[in-house]
Structure formats: structure tokens, C-alpha cells
Amino acid sequence: MTINWQKEVEARKEELLEDLKNLLRVNSERDDSKATSDAPFGPGPRDALKHMLAYGKRDGFVVKNVDNYAGHIDLGEGEETLGIFGHMDVVPAGDGWATDPYEPVIKDGKIFARGSSDDKGPSMAAYYAMKIIKELNLKLSKKVRFVVGSDEESGWGDMAYYFEHEKKPDFGFSPDAEFPIINGEKGNVSLALRFKGDNAGDYVLKSFVSGLRENMVPGTATATLEVPNEEAAVQMEEAFYRFVEANPVSGSIEAENTYVKIELVGKGAHGASPQSGINAGSFLALFLDKYQFIGSAKQFIHVATAYVHEDFYGQKIGVAHEDEKMGKLTMNAGLFFFKENGTEKENFINLNFRFPKGITVDELEHTLFTLMKEEGASVTRGERVMEPHYVPMEDPLVATLLQVYEDHTGEKGYEQIIGGGTYGRLLKRGVAYGAMFPNYTDTMHQANEFMSLDDLFRATAIYADAIYRLAK
């Protein structure tokens, strides 16, 4: 039986696009301040999860909501289950958007909105792939389960809870990365450098704030401080504009008597590729490092400058490591917080590491602890630790997915290993598969995020073919 998958997508593309627009309108940023038993990660992720599951009910699938943590949409029956993992939560929109991030706009063949490429657009492509198979009444020998998450961008608490109540699929993929395939992912851990809040010198750091999430390169940074006198404030203002002119950043500085406020703008990016962004937090620390702060404020600024600034591979702190297959360790300084008289819990620099095989979390922590002890800072480990993950090329799952990609694109498939973490690693035989095509423009976790409509529809056809071949 020959199926023209592209034709089936074409017949449904307006419906698909309308459903995607409505899903993108749901602001699904995690908000712990509004978390309840009914909304474990805040109302936004819950509402987006329920919105996606409602599509499944509307279209006649078997649907289950697991206490608003996660849910699933089922197709077919069988002893084995093919799992597809998408997520409805998004990173904070941040600044720099040309349009409302939660009112999707179609322009130049692209749909712009937060979540369009990560991960509502790809999730909708995978869902419509299932919908096509259902509407064509194609026979399957395996169950297909689309698992919908709501906390992928933070702590994966959704999946931890979900799998306490539901059995894991036997194999599967996540539409949350790139084609041809992602069959390897580096390990992932965050280590926080913590500082006290004392500083009482001629220059006093009142506050320093930069970053939205540990897995985002900070695009903006703000500091407020007190300087010795008005002349020092004027001199700092002049120095700041010279600094901005000499570096790939922009910003503003305001002085009122001896109080100064600085705002600096860099470029946000995904924390798995810190080298592709311009870290506003570390650049602001670099500017302040030449001033005579003392105590913990000096330590905070110095550490950010000496060990963090423009070091994407952990070389300055002595943890650089490269594996022949998995590549280099990367380090992203995603969060900078300092408050005068704050505690070590409040004052920190969060370093997110994506590490290959050959180096352990214990080794990372020990090296950092030894170095920071000399700098007067402490180190704490984040709750979530992910070890490196790899599914061999000869696995039938990988082989089938690559063959589908080749058949639809005419291009040779190949394996890829990334620093980003996807739900594909939830399964021993789990990978990430699309929906971004080679040479795409990566706007994930950035302002003006978009997905190409041609890529959206092409991915839908690939997903439909892949699901059918894996489950028929």
C-alpha cells in the first residue's frame, strides 16, 4: 500500500495551522508563585496541557490527563508501545520581540511565537501525523502513545510524576530537536557558585540580576550600585559608553547623585550552545570588575569575570573535556543574582554543564569546589542530574527513522549528538527526531522564535510515515 503522506498533510494544513495558533496563544511559562495542587507548575503549563489533550478528545483518541502534570493520547493497541514525547511548557518570552510572543504572526512563510519551534509546533506536527493514520484507518500492531509534558524546560517534574503512574513505552522519539536524528545527548547538571552579600567599600553593589533560566544565555543584565561621589558617577558613565562601543553589547546607564543603575543587552541563546549567544551577565561583570568593590561583591564580580566570561568549554575552571563521539563539554552561566546583605541562597551564579562521556558529575563538582574555596565561594549541585545517553546506529529504531528521512528528503541520514536534553532520553531506546531540518535558523529560547511553515508540514509527513513504519 502506497500512501502519499505529503498529499494527506496538504489536505489538513489549514486545520493544523489553526490548531497550532490557538495552542501558541496559551502562555505556558512555568510560574511557581501560582502553583497549586491543580496546577503543579502554574496555570500556564496546565492550561496548555489541557488544550492539547482536548484536541485528542475532539478527534476521537483515547486520552488521559495525569493530574495536570502530563497526559497522553493513544492510538491503536498492541503488546509493544511506541512513545512520542512532546512538551507544552515554554521558556520565558524575555525582551526583544518585534511582535507579541503569545499572539502568533505569520510572515514570510514563518510562524512567530514563543513555542513555535520549541516545542508546540513540532508537537502539533507529530499529533497530526497520528491523526492522519487514524483517519486513514491504517492497521497497527503496536500502540502509539503521544505523551504530552508540561515541565520540560525546568525540572522534568512532569515526567517524574507521570511515570510513577504510567508504564514507560518500549521505544520512541521526541519531536524536539533536529533531523536527520539525535541519537545521543550529553549529560546535564547545574552547579551554583554561592556568595554572601557583604560589601561596604567605596563602591557598593546593591543588586545584580541577569538571566531567566539556567538553560538560556542571558540576553539582559541589570546592576544598581553606589559610588563614592558624583564625580565617580560621571566617570563611570563615560567609561560605560566606551565599554559598550568596544564590545558586542548595548545598554544604558543612569546616575543620580551617587546612585547608578546600569542596564546591558547582549544576545540570548539556548544554553546548550552558549557560544552562539552574548552573555549579558558576564559582560556586565567584566565592566564592573575594575572598580574597587570589597567582600563578597568583589568575589562575585571577579569570579564572573575571571572564570565565566566567554568561557564556553570550562577551560578557565579546569574541567574542559572532549569525547571523540560526543564532543566537547559546554558551560553556560545562565543565572546571576546578587543582593546587598543577601544570603548564599540568594546570591549565586548558576553554571549549567552539558558533558560527554569520560567525565563525571562528581569530578566537575570537586574541581569547582576546590577552585571556589580559594575564591571565598561555596558550590551546590542542582537536583536534576542526567547522564550521557546514546542509542547505536544499528538499533532498528534509529535505522528506520533515518530511512524515512532519506526517503522524504533524498538526503543521506547521519547520527548527531547534542548538548541539549530532550525527552528522547527518557527511554533506553529513545531518540530525538526533528522537527528542524539541516541548516535551519535556530531561534529556540530566543526573541522572535519562529518555525518555517514548509518545515512544519514536511515534518508532519515524515512523522506520519515514521510512526506507521514503526507501528504497522
Write down the catalytic residue from 119, 152, 340, 465. Answer: 152
What is the pLDDT of the chain when averaged over all its residues? 96
Mean pLDDT in residue range 225-244: 97
Q: Is residue 152 annotated as part of the catalytic site, yes or no?
A: yes
* Residues in Cβ contact with 168 at an 8 Å cutoff, skipping those fewer than 6 apart: 83, 426, 427
Span 264-299, pLDDT tens digits: 999 999 899 999 999 999 999 999 999 999 999 999
* 200: pLDDT strictly greater than 80: no
Mean pLDDT in residue range 21-36: 98
Query: With the CA atoms of 260, 261, 266 and 268 taken in that order, what torsion angle do they form, in degrees rounded to the nearest 10?
Result: 150
What is the per-residue pLDDT for 199?
A: 86
* 197: pLDDT strictly greater than 90: no
Give the architecture (CATH level 2) of 188-384. 2-Layer Sandwich (3.30)
Amino acid at 93: A
Q: Quote helix, strand, coil % in the chain, to nearest 5.
A: 35, 25, 40
Span 361-395, pLDDT tens digits: 999 999 999 999 999 999 999 988 999 999 999 99
For residues 155 and 421, the answer to whether their CB atoms sit within 8 Å is no
Report how far residue 210's alpha carbon sits from residue 240's, in angstroms, rounded to the nearest whole number.
Answer: 18
Q: Is residue 406 annotated as part of the catalytic site, yes or no?
A: no
Q: For the chain, what are the domain ranges?
A: 5-186+389-471, 188-384
Mean pLDDT in residue range 455-467: 98
What is the per-residue pLDDT for 421?
A: 84
Give the architecture (CATH level 2) of 5-186+389-471. 3-Layer(aba) Sandwich (3.40)
Mean pLDDT in residue range 27-50: 98
Q: Which three-class secondary structure state does DSSP give residue 393?
A: coil
For residues 72 and 147, the answer to whether their CB atoms sit within 8 Å is yes
Amino acid at 43: P
Smallest Cα–Cα separation from 359: which of 314, 294, 390?
A: 314
Which of 103-112, 197-206, 318-327, 397-406 has the lowest average pLDDT? 197-206
Span 250-262, pLDDT tens digits: 999 999 999 999 9
* Residues in Cβ contact with 112 at an 8 Å cutoff, skipping those fewer than 6 apart: 98, 99, 104, 105, 106, 448, 449, 450
Report how far residue 316's alpha carbon sits from residue 206's, in angstroms, rounded to the nearest whole number.
Answer: 28
* 182: pLDDT strictly greater than 80: yes
**What one-character DSSP code corresponds to residue 278?**
B
**What one-character DSSP code corresponds to residue 315?**
T
What is the per-residue pLDDT for 198?
A: 86
Q: Which three-class secondary structure state does DSSP give residue 407?
A: helix
For residues 413 and 434, the answer to whether their CB atoms sit within 8 Å is no
CA angle 98, 100, 103 (to 5 degrees): 130
* 108-113 LR contacts (CB < 8 Å, sep 24+): 109/452, 109/453, 109/454, 110/450, 110/451, 110/452, 110/453, 111/17, 111/20, 111/21, 111/24, 111/450, 111/451, 111/453, 111/456, 112/448, 112/449, 112/450, 113/24, 113/25, 113/449, 113/450
In percent, the amount of the chain with pLDDT more than 90 equals 95
Q: Which three cell numbers stand for residue 423?
A: 525527552
Element (H, E) at 284: helix 280-288
Smallest Cα–Cα separation from 135: which of 469, 400, 468?
A: 468
Q: Which three-class secondary structure state does DSSP give residue 246?
A: helix
Mean pLDDT in residue range 443-454: 95
Smallest Cα–Cα separation from 84: which of 182, 193, 173?
A: 173
pLDDT band for 419, please (50, 70, 90 cuts).
confident
Q: Which three cell numbers stand for residue 332?
A: 553556560
* 420: pLDDT strictly greater than 90: no
* 341: pLDDT strictly greater than 80: yes
The reported pTM is 0.81
Q: List, in sequence order, every beta strand (DSSP E) within 24-101.
A: 62-66, 70-75, 81-87
Smallest Cα–Cα separation from 465: which of 74, 178, 132?
A: 132
Span 101-156, pLDDT tens digits: 999 999 999 999 999 999 999 999 999 999 999 999 999 999 999 999 999 998 89
435 beta partners:
177
Write down the catalytic residue from 8, 19, 89, 158. Answer: 89
